[in-house]
Amino acid sequence: MKEIFPGVFKSMKNLYTKSLVNGSVYGEKIIKEYREWDPTRSKLGAAILKGLKFNPIKKGSKILYLGASTGTTVSHISDIIEKEGIIYAIEFAERMIRKLVNLAEKRKNIVPLLADARKPEEYYWVEECDIAYVDLAQPDETEIAIRNAEYFNCKYLMIAIKSQSIDVTKRPEEVYKEEKAKLERAGFNVIELIDLEPYEHDHCFIVAKKML
User: Is 200 among the domain residues?
Assistant: yes
Domain boundaries, position 106: 38-210
Instruction: Examine residue 14 and state whether it is found in any structural domain, yes or no.
Output: no
Q: What is the pLDDT of residue 112?
A: 97
Q: Is residue 28 part of a domain?
A: no
pLDDT in tens, 86-142: 999 999 999 899 999 999 999 999 999 999 999 999 999 999 999 999 999 999 999
Q: Does residue 157 sit within a domain? A: yes
Specify the DSSP class assigned to residue 202: T
Label residue 145 left, alpha or beta by phi (over 0 means left) and psi (-120 to 50 means alpha).
Answer: alpha
Residue 95 CB neighbour total at 10 angstroms? 9
Q: What is the pLDDT of residue 212?
A: 76
Residue 112 falls within a domain, yes or no? yes
**For residue 18, is it within any domain?**
no
Residue 24 lies in a domain: no
pLDDT (tens digit, 9 = 90+) per residue, 34-55? 999 999 999 999 999 999 999 9
Name the CA dihedral angle for 83, 5, 200, 114, rounded to a multiple of 10 degrees: 20
The domain tally of the chain equals 1
**Any residues with CB less than 8 A from the CB of 72 and at least 6 apart, and which?**
25, 26, 38, 41, 42
The domain that holds 162 is classified in CATH as 3.40.50.150
Give the whole-angstrom CA distance, residue 160 versus residue 182.
14
Q: pTM here?
A: 0.96
- Indicate whether 10 belongs to any domain: no
User: What are the φ/ψ torsions at residue 189 (nearest 5 degrees)?
Assistant: -95, 115
